[in-house]
Structure 1
Amino acid sequence: MRLLLALLLAATPVSAQRLRPADVDKLPSSPATVTQAYGSAPTQVGDLRLPDSKAFGPGPYPVVIVIHGGCWWKGFATRQNTAALASRLTERGFATWNIDYRQVGETGPDGKYSGDPGAGWPGTFQDWAAATDHLRDLAKHYPIDLARVAVTGHSAGAHAALWVAGRQKLPRDSEIASLDPLKIGAVVAIDGPGDPASELTLFEEACGVPAGSALFGGTPAAQPKRWAEGSPQSRLPLGVPSGLISASLFLSPTAATKWISQARAGKDKSSALILGGTGHFEVIAPGSPVWPQVEAFLVEQLKVSP
């Protein structure tokens, strides 16, 4: 059903603790230290927030890349959806780089495309990579520690975060490979898929749009190479500690357990926070009933030793 996720969220009363994306967008967030472009497209931009130097010293600070969700689909979410999350991590002593990126859409009967030009394969993946590597430029002007870089993302952004953490293992001839990817020291996926192909039908039904097919330019059967290269789970072991937060159908406890088993079999450190009885957006909402558990897990899992 079209826009099933939005309808379900809108129909669920706040008293049942089911926040909508717009509710999270309205949560208080701190102003960015700087907003900077990492490319020429309007959505190739991010907000850098730095911790309070009076509380945490002059730096350099560990930095967390924050990637919002929204089914990879234009109009569902922007970096405002993770601004409160990024702000809270900054309050805990992390610099945060909260990014936007090109998102897909569809071509209507009138021939007009509703997504960002250049989104999908390989553009959206290249945005995640370019935004990550842009930390090298930011570090020339701001006190961030490139030896302590972590990444987290929510929903479809969780897939992006895991992919960023494992992209150093891509084949060199891949369209979405980078020559010199910035090293990631830890990753946390917040209620989003590590292997989108395995739960594609459920994911697209929840999103209400053909999100995966649009991102990869076809189904897993039609584009097996792309789906393999875009699947973080196919890169395991990543060689990077991973944490997973499961709260809903976007990352089921079964899928989280599968990831952890496969990661640990390859000698990766991996752990999960399984939350029952909560919603998909509560897990990125400071002040929600589950937020203390989420924040404690994030702070512990995102620590990177220099």
Structure 2
Amino acid sequence: MTTTDKAPPQAFPPQTYPPELARLTDSPPGSFELARYGSAPEQYGEYWPGGDGAAAVLLHGGYWRARYRLDLMHLLAADLQARGYAVWNVEYRRTGLPGGGWPGTFEDVATALDALPGLDGGAVDPARVALIGHSAGGQLALWAAALSRTVRPAAVVSLAGVCDLGLAARLGLSNGAVAELLGGGPTERPEVYRRADPMALLPLGVPQLIVHGSADPHVPPELSRRYADAAGPEALLLELPGADHFDVIDPATPAWARTARELARLLPAAATPA
């Protein structure tokens, strides 16, 4: 595992985000180092040190597509660091990039999670890790929680997650993003859906916080409702009236303040809440 303070190599030209996304990538307070978990350009993450062993693994969204990057989680990473968590903000191969989609995207998430205990001289307690994913990252976080790997998370937080892949595919969300990720629809690739869809992996055996804004125009709240209902007592559904798709990853919003309080209940950290 190597770390560097230099920008990672780009496998594609930098994309310009629209204003509602660009505001999330501002240079935040706090500090991090880049660390690689593989040799592909996208196999790296940002490690934000701190805390008393508790850590949050962040998985960004963007319907698993190349034009969306881990910088969408910068403000959230800084906020979590201020709350006393170490943060591992993970990049991964996405559709539109070599190796992206099934199974490469999923393999990257698993490998990055395995790499966490080796960062920062072993400062992270592998039993005190929360997986936090937004949108497509919510699906990846729930999927990763079902793995038997080096890190067994203490909690999983899905923020506006695409946590019912079968329904998302049938709805054709984001111009068929799920079929693009998995190489076809549920009837064409049933075994892949059984291995990738969080709905098919229940029970996870991990406490889950399922957060969704009622005004989300990108991922229907019904996906989170259906998932939480299927997960039963393992999951708490937190539906936030009036919140949109990006409010849940904006530290300035009441939506994130409420989510952070619930996270602290599931996985306390040393610092006084920010």
TM-score category of the 2 structures, normalised to the smaller one:
0.7 to 0.9
TM superposition shift of 1:257: 3.1
Counterpart in 2 of 1:279?
244
- In the TM superposition, 1:82-93 aligns within 5 A as 82-93=73-84
CA distance in 2, matches of 1:74, 1:155: 14
Determine the C-alpha separation between the residues in 1 that align with 2:29 and 2:185: 38
1:108-148 deviation line (CA, Å, top 9, x unaligned): xxxxxxx2111111100000100000113226x14111121
Q: Does 1:152 align with 2:143?
A: no
Distance 1:303 1:159, change over 3 A: farther
Q: Which runs of 5+ in 1 are unaligned?
A: 1-8, 11-18, 105-114, 169-179
SS in 1 for 2:92: coil
Letter in 2 for 1:197: G
Q: Which residue of 2 aligns with 1:47?
A: 46
Comparing 252-261 and 229-238, the one that deviates more: 252-261
The answer to whether residue 98 in structure 2 is matched with residue 117 in structure 1 is yes
The offset of 1:263, in angstroms, is 1.7
Q: Partners of 2:171 and 2:253 in 1: how far apart?
A: 26
Partner of 2:146: 166
How far apart in 2 are the matches of 1:236 and 1:181? 20
SS in 2 for 1:20: helix
Using a 3 Å threshold, how does the CA distance of structure 1 residues 36 and 183 change in structure 2: closer, same or farther? same
State how far apart, in whole Å, the 2-side matches of 1:152 and 1:30 are.
Answer: 19
1:129 match: 110
Unaligned runs of 5+ in 2: 1-16, 270-274
2-side partners of 1:271 and 1:252: how far apart? 17
1:52-71 alignment, distance < 5 Å = 59=52, 61-71=53-63
- Once residues 293 and 241 of structure 1 are traced to their aligned partners in structure 2, the CA distance between those partners, rounded to angstroms, is 17
TM-score, length-normalised on structure 1? 0.76
Partner Cα separation in structure 2 for residue 291 and residue 189 of structure 1: 12
Are the aligned partners of 1:67 and 1:152 in contact in 2 as well (CA < 8 Å)?
A: yes
Aligned CA distance change for structure 1 residues 302 and 21 (closer, same or farther; 3 Å)? farther
2:20 counterpart letter in structure 1: R
| C-alpha distance 229-256 of structure 1, shift in aligned 2 (>3 A) | same
Give the Cα separation in 1 of the matches to 2:90 and 2:29.
15
| Residue number in structure 2 paired with 1:102 | 93
User: Whole-Å Cα distance in 1 between the matches of residues 38 and 226 of structure 2?
Assistant: 36
Query: Cα RMSD between the aligned structures?
Result: 2.1
2:69 to 65, 72, 78: 78
- Rounded to whole Å, the distance in 1 between the matches of 2:150 and 2:179 is 26
Counterpart of 1:260, as a letter, is: A
User: CA offsets per residue over residues 17-67 of structure 1, 9 Å max, x none?
Assistant: xx72122122624220x210000011100111122xxxx5xx3x1111100
Question: Is residue 48–residue 86 contact of structure 2 (8 Å, CA) maintained in 1?
Answer: yes
Code of the residue aligned with 2:55 in structure 1: it is: V
Report SS of the residue matched to 1:66: strand
Say whether the 8 Å CA contact 1:159–1:232 is kept in structure 2: yes
Residue 230 of structure 2 is aligned with which of 246, 262, 267?
A: 262
Counterpart CA distance in 2 for 1:301 and 1:246 is: 18
Larger Rg: 1
| Aligned residues of 2:209 and 2:236 also touching (Cα < 8 A) | yes
**Number of equivalenced pairs:** 251
Q: CA deviation at 1:193?
A: 1.8
Q: Aligned partners of 1:133, 1:277: CA distance in 2, in Å?
A: 37
Is the partner of 1:261 in helix, strand or coil? helix
For the Cα contact (< 8 Å) 1:188–1:301, is it kept in 2?
A: no
Q: TM-score under structure 2 normalisation?
A: 0.84
Match of 2:9 in 1: none
1:240 has 2:206 as partner: yes
Partner of 1:227: 193
1:206-217 matches, cutoff 5 A:
207=174, 209-217=175-183
